[in-house]
């Protein structure tokens, strides 16, 4: 079997993971000084910083929504984040598309009706990219929104899954994505078990859809555990610091 096969003879993937294994997730809330909430998350070699500003006064009068808050999402990609250096324009169409997917994912979850006529900005900066742009953006934004203390109905956790022959695999990296493996990204509300985002950009047989979706949901639940533990630990630390007795 050639080394370009996505799954080797021992059932391990190119980067040594099992089929149903997530990449290692490291995350930390509250890493920036100027924003109201921020977070850093890395999933394998994909690394992302998120900053949240607001709720605050809407900057452009024409955009004011009188019954709820306006949410904006902006994604930037560092020029050195991919293997080939590429200076992306700020308004790259692909990034705009992902930004609007992130925005639509969060709009029903953030309790925007509490802040009429105001604005919440979510900025995402990808520092290093190795696959899974949409999912890391959603996960980073969730953590930053929690850090900013913005009321949300529940967490949003995203994960991707794909299928190679008959094996479903979890959390594709860039080299797996570039092999043309069908990739499905799911954003899950872990408490109500609802799916708020579902994205599939290649062809996938209907019979396989269910198992791939189930795999992505399973991954998203793991992400939830990690995010929940991180934010609980962080809040616990803060409490301890403010109340040493």
Verify binding: residue 31, another protein, rule CB under 8 A.
yes
Query: Considering Cα of 78, then 83, then 87, then 88, what sign does the dihedral take?
Result: negative
Residue 168, phi then psi, degrees to nearest 5 = -85, 135
**Contact in structure between 44 and 52 (CB atoms under 8 Å):** no
Residue 224, phi then psi, degrees to nearest 5 = -55, -45
**Kind plus residue range of the DSSP H or E element containing 102:** helix 93-106
Shortest Cβ distance from residue 53 to another protein (Å)?
Answer: 5
Shortest Cβ distance from residue 69 to another protein (Å)?
Answer: 16
Task: Report the residue count for the chain.
Answer: 245
Which residues, numbered 52-81, are part of the site for another protein (CB under 8 A)?
Answer: 53, 56, 74, 76, 78-81
Shortest Cβ distance from residue 198 to another protein (Å)?
Answer: 28
Verify binding: residue 179, another protein, rule CB under 8 A.
no
Verify binding: residue 32, another protein, rule CB under 8 A.
yes
> Is 49 or 109 the residue whose CB approaches another protein more closely?
49
Interface pick for another protein out of 124, 158, 169, 189 (rule CB under 8 A): 124
Interface pick for another protein out of 22, 82, 96, 181 (rule CB under 8 A): 82
Interface pick for another protein out of 13, 23, 115, 123 (rule CB under 8 A): 123
3-state secondary structure 138-197: HHHHHHHHHHCCCCECCCCEEEEEEEECCEEEECCCHHHHCCCCCEEEEEEECCCCEEEE
Q: In what order do the strands lie in the sheet with 37-43?
A: 25-29, 37-43, 46-57, 118-128, 70-77
> Is 141 or 215 the residue whose CB approaches another protein more closely?
141
> Is 45 or 65 the residue whose CB approaches another protein more closely?
45
Instruction: Enumerate binding residues for another protein (CB under 8 A).
Output: 26, 28, 31-35, 38, 40, 42, 45, 47, 49-51, 53, 56, 74, 76, 78-83, 85, 87, 90, 121, 123-125, 127-128
């Amino acid at each position: 079997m050639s080394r370009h096969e996505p799954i080797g003879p021992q059932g391990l993937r190119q980067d040594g993971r099992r089929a149903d294994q997530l990449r290692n997730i490291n995350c930390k809330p509250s890493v920036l000084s100027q924003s109201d909430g921020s977070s850093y998350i890395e999933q394998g070699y994909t690394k992302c910083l998120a900053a949240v500003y607001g709720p605050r006064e809407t900057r452009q009068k024409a955009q004011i929504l009188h019954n709820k808050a306006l949410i904006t999402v902006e994604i930037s990609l560092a020029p050195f984040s991919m293997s080939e250096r590429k200076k992306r324009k700020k308004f790259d169409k692909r990034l705009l598309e992902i930004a609007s997917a992130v925005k639509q994912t969060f709009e029903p979850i953030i309790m925007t009706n509490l802040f009429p006529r105001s604005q919440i900005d979510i900025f995402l900066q990808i520092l290093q990219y190795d696959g899974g742009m949409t999912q890391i953006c959603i996960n980073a934004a969730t953590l930053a929104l929690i850090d900013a203390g913005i009321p949300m109905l529940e967490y949003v956790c995203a994960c991707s899954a794909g299928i190679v022959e008959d094996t479903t695999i979890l959390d594709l990296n860039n080299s797996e994505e570039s092999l043309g493996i069908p990739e499905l990204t799911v954003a899950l509300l872990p408490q109500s078990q609802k799916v708020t985002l579902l994205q599939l950009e290649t062809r996938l047989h209907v019979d396989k859809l269910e198992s791939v979706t189930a795999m992505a949901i399973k991954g998203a639940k793991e992400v939830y555990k990690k995010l929940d533990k991180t934010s609980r630990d962080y809040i616990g630390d803060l409490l301890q610091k403010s109340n040493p007795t």
